[in-house]
Amino acid sequence: MSTEGAPEQLAQDKTTGICCQKVSEAEVFARAGISDILITNQVCEQVKIKRLAGIAALGCRLSVCVDNQANIDALSAEAKKRNVHIHCLVELDCGAGRCGVADAEQATELATSIKEAEHLIFDGLQAYQGSIQHEPNHHQRKTELYAVISKVKTCLEDLAAVGL
């Protein structure tokens, strides 16, 4: 989505916000007037966390993925300094092995931590397993998909059990 196309799509009620991969992309969208942005990755470097809080300071509803306590602590501290709120989604590792928490227990621990953190808002889970689409065997693809769905359902049940 380009900065030219995003406002048009938002105006036509085809979407409520946009997602992007990096802080630099979020900055461009925020300057273009997009007020609801999800960065679909973790933002862990302190300089980028400062930039992230700066986007939120523009009045943007900014969401980011998290998968560890240190990141939650850093986001909370910077958001508190800037007196802004950052929305957080706990990312699940859905099989790629690159990022995300391994299980429902870890997801619930991080979600609880986000809920308790100053200036952070727990917004849910991020569960993306994009490589499934490249699995040529239909049976294998279906098996992998149902494993991800099962993991997400378990996480949602555990979160509900603690009131999240």
pTM: 0.87
37-86 pLDDT tens trace: 999 999 999 999 999 999 999 999 999 999 999 999 999 999 999 999 99
Say how far apart CA 125 and CA 114 lie, in whole Å.
Answer: 12
Fill in the amino acid letter for 2.
Answer: S
98-155 pLDDT tens trace: 788 989 999 999 999 999 999 999 999 999 887 888 888 999 999 989 999 999 999 9
Those residues with Cβ within 8 angstroms of residue 19's Cβ, 6 or more apart along the chain or in another chain = 37, 38, 39, 40
Strand partners, 31: none
Sheet holding 18-20, edge to edge: 18-20, 36-42, 61-66, 86-91, 120-126
Say how far apart CA 113 and CA 90 lie, in whole Å.
Answer: 11
